[in-house]
Structure 1
Amino acid sequence: MKNLFLSAVVATATLVSCSTVSSILQNTFPYNATVLVTAGSPANVQLSNVSVAQSVNQLTGSGANVKDIRVSNATVSVDSNNSLGMFSSVKIYLSNGGSNETLVASRESIPDNVGSSLSLDVNSSQRFDQLMKAGNVQAKMVYVLKKSPTTDVSVKTSIGFNSVPMTN
């Protein structure tokens, strides 16, 4: 009888701790997408490129367990052979299949000597619950180049989200 009671206590503790760990892990999560700026893209013209990214369900496996999803930080980066100084401005939008586009982060007047990584100004007032739980989230980068690149440049967008665990 003691073994049965002890087993029940251990099983309950294990289930509760797994749920707690899952909630902690889901409170912050990254969201990455990569877009390609092709060689010869025109300068001083607004351009855009779309990349399919991941939804919360793909990232955590249980997106229904979080709510109040907001942007906490956003960066764009290129490999060390390039500089983000080639951009005049960058805006990142998220949408579900091309509709309901929402501005996530942006940066205007990017300096020439910025380097290969840049933090963006985030839209922290917007909630992204429904958008991030949708099955097909797309990241769209809208940008203006200062000069036309001579080679293709792969730009990685990384967005950090905060969320609150749902309690039943």
Structure 2
Amino acid sequence: MLRAIARALATAVSGLCKGAIWTLNFAEQVIRWPFSVIFGSGGGGRPNPHFEPAMSGVELLDEFNANRAHAAAVHELNRDGIDTVVRYAKATPSARSTIDLGGLAKDVRATLLTMDDNELRALANAGVGAVRKFLEGREHGIHGVPVARAIPADNAPTAGMTAEESVLWKVRSKLLKGQQSGDFKLSM
């Protein structure tokens, strides 16, 4: 008897579910009917347009990668040498000798070569506008970083030296002075 009751309940529930599905389908058709009259039956009998892509998936991926590389290159900051200065300032002391500073002005190169690690760290943490002002030799507002001034021409080079050799000699002497007097510096 329990089986008969269970079958009857299962049949009733099944009938209700089928009835509910039929009711939802009917309601959907009633709602769609005015739109199909106004806008047509959705293409009834018209063939789908033929489309064949002009490029393969590999070509499409190559073009996408090329566009991505081009978009990334637009944001490079090295128009005025900003990227070179920031990269030089962020580099370790041993890696600084491998960075090419040839695109920078002589006074900026001389200033960069005479700066100590604290000044370079402050320059590396500065904003793009301040670094641009540093490159132009204007007041930049970076605390502790000297302004890149033009190399004075009135400094008489020592006997047998050109002006550039004199500047290089001064830069080397300041660099070596920083290395030699490291024992007597105060730790900060």
The TM-score normalised by the length of structure 2 is: 0.26
Higher helix proportion: 2
Q: Which has the larger radius of gyration?
A: 2
Q: Which has the higher contact order (CA 8 A, sep 6+)?
A: 1
Higher strand proportion: 1
